[in-house]
Amino acid sequence: MSEESLPNDGRPDHADALPEYAERVLEVAELIPPGRVMTYGDVAEWLEEGGPRQVGRVMSLYGGAVPWWRVVRADGVMLPGHELRVLEHYRAEGTPLKEASRAAEGHLPRLDMRRARWDGGERAQGHT
DNA sequence: AGCGTGACGAGTA
DNA sequence: ATACTCGCCACGC
């Protein structure tokens, strides 16, 4: 068909004109239960496509549509510039945070990845 | 085409 | 714990 300016009859299709890859990433992000997190790398691995940086890119562009604070860096460090905001979410959701050692006083807490990391609930890959 | 950059990650010092 | 290197890959200049 003429992919040249489709006549979106009254319905702005471009409203969800996200690349398919981005949609898949956001889809996974929405599956993460409150109180748990998934790393960018885990999401990429889960999708079996792209890599951590691609997932991060999608989140930076379209993350606002999902619980973006549940997709985090593998080292558990909070997103710079949004630390306080995400910290509120984590405390509200009961996401495991790593106790700051005395030496690290003054530093913002980091996520306790060992406990907070969510494996994706074992993909229902079906088929045994 | 090259090159720098980024909501990354793992390894090494 | 910090700093630095590499590998990764899509983008933009």
pTM of the model: 0.84
The per-residue pLDDT for A2 is: 37
Give the CA A6 to C1' C4 distance in Å.
50
Give the CA A35 to C1' B5 distance in Å.
32
Give the CA A36 to C1' B2 distance in Å.
42
Give the pairing of strands A71-72 and A38-39: parallel
- Report, in ranges, which bases of strand B sit under 7 Å from a protein C-beta: 6-10
Look at residue A59 and tell me whether its pLDDT is greater than 80.
yes
- Summarize pLDDT for A78-123 with one digit per residue, the tens: 999 899 999 999 999 999 999 777 667 778 899 999 999 998 877 6
Tell me the helices (H) and strands (E) count for chain A, helix number first.
5, 4
Look at residue A6 and tell me whether its pLDDT is greater than 50.
no
**pLDDT category of residue A15 using cuts at 50, 70 and 90:** very low
* For range A49-74, the mean pLDDT: 96
Give the separation between CA A35 and CA A85, rounded to whole angstroms: 15
Look at residue A56 and tell me whether its pLDDT is greater than 70.
yes
Domain A19-114, what fold? Arc Repressor Mutant, subunit A (1.10.10)
Would you list the domain boundaries of chain A?
Answer: 19-114
Higher pLDDT, A16 or A90: A90
The per-residue pLDDT for A124 is: 59
Check residues 74 to 113 of chain A and report those whose beta carbon is under 7 Å from nucleic acid strand B.
Answer: 74-75, 79
